[in-house]
Structure 1
């Protein structure tokens, strides 16, 4: 049993650093449990921080339970704390190592004595009874719109900021759980909307239910401002940064982010169910598509994440959480790991964690001066929707994501709702696999971009609905794509095929086949005269009895429609659910058709291409836009493992050789080609303006770093 040291003296030696969000990019988070004061070993944790090159830490301080000697009434203190200071001990040790320190508070529940003294703090159910905690009876859920958050938690944040040398306060589970029918919430909702709080099951036609999400977001956003202003009034460099949790980044008010969010965190701590390992990198891309100027961190747990089970006091496979961390930072989300409970009952996570963070530290000198870029963007369907088809939109996005990863095509995300000329001009190709809800302005913006030379690849019901979910008579992008609806969309189609007709480069990947599998959702369209139709649907025929399974008619209706526009732009329309059927059935022809259509859309423009026998997630870093291209770094994250399509990772299988093709800037030569982690130079073959490098083999991660210089400069030297 360990006895904690008394509360340490408050550190005043280290100067406050207002710029800490720009360099705090490797985080150790430790979430204490009530009995941790009995078993706490601060030297172990400080050693982990040192060996992992962590430069920031997030430590449990208070809220539901205080791990420091608080003086605020009803701020429950760990019964094992005694005269010690669990939070202060580690905070002071981290500060001595030059780390940023963030104090974690969790306001989602209170103990019975606080409820008795302040019943107004509790969330109430529809019958007016306090909501007891679902997992720990005898404690109660707080109402986020009560004085618990606005007054009590503000006092807690001020106390921690005043008494400790910290840089930020981090709030977890602060948004509430469901609707609280407390008097405070009911009164505020009525004042702002003129309505009573919604009751019963969700009803999209109920004005109260329609008003609830926006009202909730606005009220919670105001809390962020209140808390941030409160801690900054105590120490100007300290920030209050709440966990986004269920509030997605694309739903945040941009002015709020500018003022109160110096950096963002993604609380998606690991794989859920059979989620693909590239989901970590997707999280980074999503945040960057909304807030490109804000650093974003990916919180990763060393324990398993499961949608139906919680094993928080456990350790998952080292290769799995390391891959999650590495794929996240390769796609621009700096690493943050979290450990629940300071007592260490299983040390198998330590060395893998140190390896992952060390990789980030080694790459930081190269990647930190470059920006992620891509020629291709995937349009992300993020608008909240109660439509039954919204789930299909997500499956189409996942299938498209998987196909691009398998094809070795680097890409970024563009968020619907943020489709602007500035966003689109960053890319040559926009892939919209089934983004149903697009506004008239968004459709115009896309059409104008194609007229300037951009290329659109759209599929299925993309643009069939307005921004508000109303159904259009025709696709909103019909005139651009050169297709028009001829009937209702067909659902649950069986035994569907598309035939290769004529001769077209899009057929190259299907040598030997006259037709390939089609979709289960078919959009009947007529193609304009100035389009090319390289694939057509085979008219329906039975799938039983087996003797009747043959085509009766020649291929007829357009399945893929291609168009070349006057300004050099291109468009492609796939008249079936290419993304979702690939995600569901994983038939290789669907993935190949999607990737090859994107390559056709690129036209003569070359982009970074990666070819490998395994599966590699690619990201491309380059010299910031607006300056001459002098460096390109290609990150290769090896996702090849025995269970690749089920998400779980037991071990990573080495992959190689990996062929990487990088366009050479006009009038420039390649001056160096180096594998950053291996430390070796590699041979470069330059042909037709493209540099090809063979990376012999990668384990989990490798980065190819190329530098360029103007040809004339090189000749003079």
Structure 2
């Protein structure tokens, strides 16, 4: 038996997490709830069992039973009702807070603010992940639950520092533990202070330690139960950073991976981002991406069906299972309007599991995500300093319809990188020595690297490198000058025939804004780069605007906006500015095209699939031994207004007559392909070699095209 084979059910299970409220304990009808779960084609249902309160007759002192529970054993009843319907039970625990009674007895188990006061939420007090509540009390709760009940999974909510937007913990245990590790006191937030960056990293390590402790306890009592704590990647950095959630740290101590994509202020592509990240980080482990039925601030109000279909569809397109979270489902004071739409979507996934499950990605491009760059370069404003670069790169791949994977910057190896024709670093500023060495090996052995702005200039903890990544590859040296916050600047097209500038016929320049770093290389070319800097055209320095009568370009520099060099058998194309970030913020398709052109210069590059037609589409190509699977998720939605919040998607604009070409293996000999959501077949036209073409008549939220071999 392989280490993860006993949890293989997680790889193909549709799951719902249902949060019980204290008032539900007495009235919860387990038969109705099991029928409700069955109506979503679920394989497993997670429900509240212990932690803040017990929904079973716990014998642990000061583990309070829900007030309306009475003598019920709700956990046993729910498991029995689910078993009748062939649905696996998952225990939901929440260690984030505990009762006043427990605080009175063991105050050292609880978080404290800087004044030494406990932190109150809903009449309870926040607990500390380093204290005895997490590491003694909750371990006993886990052991009691798993000794009594045959749960197939154990899922933790809010196991983190500073849950529910509460302040940094300064409890005695944290102070002693951090001083024992570093010899220093817990610092105030100051990202220029290496001690603060060390403290920030320490929080991630502490959460990983607790995960390891729970996994060990679970394994002692019920090894068949899969431990899968909740985590997040990228978009919800304001939550995961202070909480100490880093999947790279916790994954070795988990049997399954569950990432949350519930906060709807995040970008629309967050679920697909997390699915790609999860799939590459731990391909052998099952799990899913949790989306919510509700809007986070309005837990009884549904997300529109159009958005939830797109939200869940991009997860399934990556061969990862979508999970759904429902809070306190009831018959009254609840928005039922989205239930049937989600049932229909999950039913399609259920009928077509063989299409998606165990499929492997067919992508020649890897996009690197770096949590260390988000923290140790992003500092107090990680969206502006790092994340918008990554978002822009992700947006580029969607806009230019490139299939791609996402790799963790913390786990790069030369062997991993060698699978890809091209790798992109979107301002991946903070990289370890091992990561830089892997990237250098990749390029020198024939790899194609595209990078922007400060990629590889710092080590993973944010200290400047004596030799940067570009310095090691091409001898580049920074001048120490960075031109910041440019507006109304341009990049002049000096060589329209360059493949890097394909598709820009009819324009002499491209828009430039943001920051530019100035560097020197030992082999400065005699001829200008194909794209060079035009300084801002503005009346006053920094204004970004000029009087129309004086709005002229008086100077075109030779400073390269593209640094393009051969290195060994490979190539690096570096943008010393921020085309990814500026493209994302302003929606400049030209900048997306510029980045995609750089990617497509990789040796032997050919798009595995192309999609011609309008709209914003996320393209994925997956393969199994007997089929090729192409998925398109439609992100085309009306309502583009700058309100300071991302507007919810009430409807998606259907796209029509998309012309798709795909490279297929010689074993595909059929003259038709299957449309999974439209539930019909359409004809294909064979082109040269093993390339086929077909027209997708209509794309609503999602469509998957299946090409069976033989």
State the TM bucket, normalised to the shorter chain. Answer: 0.7 to 0.9
TM-score (norm: length of structure 2):
0.87
Determine helix, strand or coil for the equivalent of 1:583: helix
Within a 5 Å distance, the mapping from 1:167-316 to structure 2 comes to: 167-177=152-162, 178-196=167-185, 198=186, 200-202=188-190, 205=193, 207=195, 209-244=196-231, 246=240, 250=246, 252-253=248-249, 257-258=251-252, 260-272=253-265, 275-305=266-296, 310-316=297-303
Offset at residue 237 of structure 1 (A): 1.1
Partner Cα separation in structure 2 for residue 121 and residue 238 of structure 1? 27
Counterpart pick for 2:399 among 394, 406, 409? 406
Moved more, 553-562 or 403-412: 553-562
Partner Cα separation in structure 2 for residue 550 and residue 473 of structure 1? 41
Partner Cα separation in structure 2 for residue 530 and residue 662 of structure 1? 41
Q: Taking structure 1 as reference, are residues 140 and 434 closer, same or farther at Cα in structure 2, changes over 3 Å only?
A: same
Contiguous gaps of at least 5 residues in structure 1: 1-16, 625-629, 710-717
Q: 1:323, 1:700 within 8 Å by CA — same for their partners in 2? A: yes
What is aligned with 1:692?
Answer: 693
**Are 1:598 and 2:586 matched, yes or no?**
no
Within a 5 Å distance, the mapping from 1:76-225 to structure 2 comes to: 76-133=64-121, 136=122, 138-177=123-162, 178-196=167-185, 198=186, 200-202=188-190, 205=193, 207=195, 209-225=196-212
Q: Provide Cα deviations, 1:412-443, integer angstroms capped at 9, x if missing partner.
A: 11221222112211211112222222345433
**Are 1:376 and 2:361 matched, yes or no?**
no
Partner Cα separation in structure 2 for residue 206 and residue 439 of structure 1? 16
Q: 1:265, 1:299 within 8 Å by CA — same for their partners in 2? A: yes
Counterpart pick for 1:433 among 410, 426, 433? 426
Offset at residue 250 of structure 1 (A): 5.0
Q: Taking structure 1 as reference, are residues 111 and 535 closer, same or farther at Cα in structure 2, changes over 3 Å only?
A: same
Moved more, 411-420 or 311-320: 311-320
Partner Cα separation in structure 2 for residue 316 and residue 41 of structure 1? 25
Offset at residue 484 of structure 1 (A): 5.3
Q: Provide Cα deviations, 1:249-272, integer angstroms capped at 9, x if missing partner.
A: 75544xx644x4111111221421
Partner Cα separation in structure 2 for residue 201 and residue 647 of structure 1? 32
Moved more, 453-462 or 479-488: 479-488
Partner Cα separation in structure 1 for residue 272 and residue 546 of structure 2? 43
Offset at residue 489 of structure 1 (A): 1.9
Partner Cα separation in structure 2 for residue 489 and residue 670 of structure 1? 57
Moved more, 648-657 or 77-86: 77-86
Counterpart pick for 1:334 among 297, 318, 321? 321
Q: Taking structure 1 as reference, are residues 230 and 416 closer, same or farther at Cα in structure 2, changes over 3 Å only?
A: closer
Q: 1:145, 1:185 within 8 Å by CA — same for their partners in 2? A: yes
Partner Cα separation in structure 1 for residue 23 and residue 667 of structure 2? 66
What is aligned with 1:535?
Answer: 531
Q: 1:675, 1:682 within 8 Å by CA — same for their partners in 2? A: no
Structure 1 stretches of 4+ with a deviation exceeding 6 A read none
Counterpart pick for 1:72 among 30, 54, 60? 60
Determine helix, strand or coil for the equivalent of 1:408: coil
What is aligned with 1:9?
Answer: none
**Are 1:578 and 2:569 matched, yes or no?**
no
What is aligned with 1:363?
Answer: 352
Offset at residue 667 of structure 1 (A): 9.0
What is aligned with 1:639?
Answer: 635
Partner Cα separation in structure 2 for residue 704 and residue 78 of structure 1? 48
Determine helix, strand or coil for the equivalent of 1:120: helix
Moved more, 182-191 or 552-561: 182-191
Partner Cα separation in structure 2 for residue 397 and residue 551 of structure 1? 31
**Are 1:392 and 2:385 matched, yes or no?**
yes
Q: 2:287, 2:321 within 8 Å by CA — same for their partners in 1? A: yes
Partner Cα separation in structure 1 for residue 365 and residue 528 of structure 2? 22
Offset at residue 242 of structure 1 (A): 2.6
Q: Taking structure 1 as reference, are residues 530 and 163 closer, same or farther at Cα in structure 2, changes over 3 Å only?
A: farther
Q: 2:627, 2:708 within 8 Å by CA — same for their partners in 1? A: yes
Q: How well do the aligned residues superpose, as a CA RMSD in angstroms?
A: 2.9
Q: Taking structure 1 as reference, are residues 599 and 58 closer, same or farther at Cα in structure 2, changes over 3 Å only?
A: same
Counterpart pick for 1:350 among 316, 322, 339? 339
Q: Taking structure 1 as reference, are residues 77 and 457 closer, same or farther at Cα in structure 2, changes over 3 Å only?
A: same
What is aligned with 1:3?
Answer: none
Partner Cα separation in structure 2 for residue 616 and residue 516 of structure 1? 24
What is aligned with 1:454?
Answer: 447
Offset at residue 26 of structure 1 (A): 0.7
Partner Cα separation in structure 2 for residue 357 and residue 682 of structure 1? 27
Within a 5 Å distance, the mapping from 1:6-45 to structure 2 comes to: 18-19=6-7, 21-23=9-11, 25-37=13-25, 39-45=27-33
Q: 1:498, 1:535 within 8 Å by CA — same for their partners in 2? A: yes
Q: Provide Cα deviations, 1:95-120, integer angstroms capped at 9, x if missing partner.
A: 22222211111122222222223333
Partner Cα separation in structure 1 for residue 447 and residue 194 of structure 2? 42
Counterpart pick for 1:318 among 287, 290, 305? 305
Q: 2:529, 2:558 within 8 Å by CA — same for their partners in 1? A: no
Partner Cα separation in structure 1 for residue 8 and residue 690 of structure 2? 42
Offset at residue 674 of structure 1 (A): 2.4
Q: Taking structure 1 as reference, are residues 531 and 445 closer, same or farther at Cα in structure 2, changes over 3 Å only?
A: farther
Q: 1:673, 1:706 within 8 Å by CA — same for their partners in 2? A: yes
Partner Cα separation in structure 2 for residue 91 and residue 464 of structure 1? 53
Determine helix, strand or coil for the equivalent of 1:634: strand
Determine helix, strand or coil for the equivalent of 2:347: helix
Q: Taking structure 1 as reference, are residues 468 and 270 closer, same or farther at Cα in structure 2, changes over 3 Å only?
A: closer
Q: 1:532, 1:561 within 8 Å by CA — same for their partners in 2? A: no
What is aligned with 1:651?
Answer: 651
**Are 1:706 and 2:707 matched, yes or no?**
yes
What is aligned with 2:615?
Answer: 614
Partner Cα separation in structure 2 for residue 439 and residue 183 of structure 1? 32
